[in-house]
Amino acid sequence: SVQLPRHDEL
């Protein structure tokens, strides 16, 4: 499955 980019930025 497409690895969702972990939104680790504000």
Per CB under 8 A, which of residues 1..10 are in contact with other proteins?
Answer: 2, 4-10
Give the residue carrying structure tokens 């680790």. Answer: 8
Q: How far is the CB of 4 from other proteins (least distance, A)?
A: 6
Residue 4, Cβ neighbours under 10 Å: how many? 6
Q: How far is the CB of 1 from other proteins (least distance, A)?
A: 9
CA distance 3 to 10: 20
| Total binding residues toward other proteins, as defined by CB under 8 A | 8
> Which residues here bind other proteins, judged by CB under 8 A?
2, 4-10
